[in-house]
Amino acid sequence: MENLELSLSSLGTICRHVAKSHNELTQYLSKQIWSQQDRQCILECVAKLLLEKDYTLLIARHLRPLVLDLLERNAERVKAGGKINHDLHERLCVALSKLLGVSPDAQAFAARYFNDAPPVFQRLFFTSEESSAVQYGPRRMKLRDLMGATLRFLQSDCAKFRMLWDWSPCVSQLLTSDVMVRGALEETQQLEVEKALVLANQGSVMWRQEKANKFTRGQVVSEDLSQNVVAVCGVVLPRIVPRQSEQRNPKDLVLVDSTCRNLRRLALAVASQKPVLLEGPIGCGKTALVEFMAAVTGHTKATEILKVQLGDQTDSKMLLGMYRCTDIPGKFVWQPGTLTQAVSKGQWILLEDIDHAPLDVISVLLPLMENKKLMIPGREDCIDVAPGFQFFATRRMYLSGGSWHKPQNSHAALLDKYWTKLQMGNMTREELKKVLISRYPKLTVVSERLLDIYCQLTGERHSDPDTSILPDDSQQLKSEDRGTSLEGRALSLRDNQTFAATRPSAVLLEQLAVCVAKGEPVLLVGETGTGKTSTVQHLARVTGLYALGVT
């Protein structure tokens, strides 16, 4: 379990700035030990303070990593009982608009919240009877505050919010006096100063990887957070709450030091909603890290995280989709590909070995990473990225000259400037020992001998940085002697041959060979993926020629 340590100095600073009428935190600062109930009360108090427009950025400045949890708590209060509490809704909208420029969590939360919540200016739609029925608190939000929040939402994502809401009631609010405009300008300048303070603050929330006690002092543990969020190495991420019948335990991942560092960096990239490229040698745990992140955030279904193994024969139609035949002759239906499904439904997608992707696949990914729009040629469709979409990719690194290098002359280099890169390495010998003993305690006695054999097979790639274990020349297997690659953590015994000589493919190959021998032009007819191009390329390879393909 992970501990999120709340600094007492931060809570003390918040208490000094908050008026006594709002301050319920003082009673907890004098306590030596916080029970679970105390921690819940503290988080509830801070969540209420977040809705006060004068203290929103103050809370964000000192408790920045907990912003998502506080927003989720307030969203539950707004929608409690199946009805919208319009007073809390307006306060949450104003607070959320102030957080858009300082917290990526707020941007992602806004996209999810307004999918089933009314607009900021919902009171303009009310009739006099409906308005009198709404119960507002003693500090009701002014209409000017709501209009300012509306403007900030438009400035953050105009394309989304201008289509999401009906703006007709706002036309009458365009006529205003110069005094109000000047007041709004001064408030905007003050808001920019407060935002700068939030971004300049490094945050006082730390995390520790240890088992939490039932009673703590100055700490909030993972169990205290809202059920809609989860803490991953100190980073709070949104979580899909599965149904009771769908709940699964995530795969065990032994959190050694290097794994914790990589997991935290991955969580930060996911929180910022940026595409992530995991680079590292074969077998260093790139895919396992993404799968573990998906499991702890609730993406447990096979449809919630899609994985695609790329290769030089991968067609962009597999990612985008294609028309397929139906039982009715002459009728075709559109079947979306994996990337189209992930973008339109807000799912996670992992493209493995992005360095092997052909140019047409890269051309599909470019506009998606540049503009967050997926273009489908031939259908004139432009799909906007749905909330929750997350793009992962992996790239292998190869050992050359004593250091790891990425593949050269790869089309994937066109995407390099758009990635948030996460470079991973092999575990050290000590970390491998921790993993081995943790997963298989009965092998503790022979763990050193097993590691000796393993490191010998993998070419000493797991040695500690400060030590170098050099085996005898007689025991070291060289790649040129065996004709295979010993890179990574497993022996790579694959042949470059990727053509399966089944009976249908052998018949087609024989027919092609006869046509080539006779010098006759050949037209291959068939659906996508039946092996037309692969057969021609295989024939060219075995005859020592090079097949030049033009689409």
pLDDT digits (tens, 9 = 90+) for 325-362: 888 887 888 888 899 999 988 899 999 999 888 888 89
Q: What is the pLDDT of residue 518?
A: 87
Query: What's the pLDDT score for residue 390?
Result: 92
What domains, with CATH codes, occur in the chain?
Answer: 2-206 (no CATH), 252-423 (3.40.50.300), 429-482 (no CATH), 503-542 (no CATH)
Tokens 């009877």, located at residue:
129
Spatial contact of 156 and 100, defined as CB atoms under 8 Å apart: yes
Q: How many CA atoms lie within 13 A of 234 on its CB side?
A: 18
Min mean pLDDT across 205-219, 292-306, 329-343, 537-551 is at 205-219
DSSP-assigned letter for residue 401: T
CA atoms within 13 A on the CB side of 134: 22
Digit-coded pLDDT (tens) for 123-153:
877 777 767 667 676 677 888 888 888 888 8
Token pair for residue 353? Answer: 């070995």
Mean predicted confidence (pLDDT) in 190-194: 58
Residue 171 has a pLDDT of 67
For 398, phi then psi, to 5°, come to: -120, 145
479 pLDDT above the threshold of 50: no
How much is the average pLDDT of 304-311? 86
Residues paired with 348 in a beta bridge: 305, 390
DSSP letter (8 states) at residue 355: G
532: helix, strand or coil: helix
Average pLDDT over residues 218-229: 77
Range scoring the smallest mean pLDDT among 6-15, 75-84, 334-343, 357-366: 6-15
The SS3 assignment for 470 reads coil
Give percent of the chain above pLDDT 70. Answer: 75
**pLDDT per residue over 283-293, tens digit each?**
888 898 999 99
Residue 229 in tokens: 């969020």
- Closest of 379, 378, 357, 380 to residue 369, by C-alpha: 357
Report in angstroms the alpha-carbon separations of 74 from 11, 67, 91, 133, 138.
19, 11, 10, 22, 18
Query: How many beta carbons lie within 10 A of that of residue 408, not counting itself?
Result: 9
Mean pLDDT (whole number) for 433-441: 89
pLDDT band at 490 (very low <50, low <70, confident <90, very high): very low
Determine how many CB atoms are found less than 10 A away from the CB of residue 458: 20
Using the predicted structure, report yes or no on whether residue 391 has a pLDDT greater than 90: yes
Residue 475's pLDDT is: 37
Considering the chain, what is the average pLDDT of its residues? 77
Give the gyration radius of the chain's Cα atoms.
29
Pairing between strand 305-309 and 276-280?
A: unpaired
Q: How confident is the model at residue 266 (pLDDT cuts 50, 70, 90)?
A: very high
Reference 365, options 351, 379, 353, 378; nearest CA is 351
**381 or 149: which leads in pLDDT:** 149
- Asked if residues 407 and 355 have their Cβ atoms less than 8 Å apart, the reply is yes
- Binned at pLDDT 50, 70 and 90, residue 277 comes out as very high
- Point out which residues pair with 421 in neighbouring strands: 277
User: Would you list the DSSP string of 273-341?
Assistant: T--EEEEESTTSSHHHHHHHHHHHTT--STTTEEEEE--TT--HHHHHEEEEE-SSTT-EEEEE-HHHH
3-state secondary structure of 106: helix
C-alpha distances in Å from residue 351, one per residue of 272, 338, 355, 359, 413? 19, 10, 10, 15, 15
Tell me the whole-structure pTM to 2 decimals: 0.71
Any idea what DSSP says for residue 68? H
Q: Alpha helix locations (H) across 355-440?
A: 359-371, 429-439
Cα–Cα separations (whole angstroms), residue 15 to 58, 59, 441, 483, 490: 11, 10, 49, 69, 57
CB 223 within 8 A of CB 85: no
Q: What is the pLDDT of residues 317-328, one digit of tens each?
A: 888 888 888 888
Question: How many Å apart are CA 9 and CA 261, to the nearest integer?
Answer: 27
Element (H, E) at 232: strand 229-232
Give the model's pLDDT for residue 278: 92
Q: What torsion do the CA atoms of 244, 251, 260, 492 make, to the nearest 10 degrees? A: -150
pLDDT at 237 over 70: yes
Tell me the β-bridge partners of 398: 405
pLDDT at position 209 is 53
Name the residue type at position 211.
Answer: K
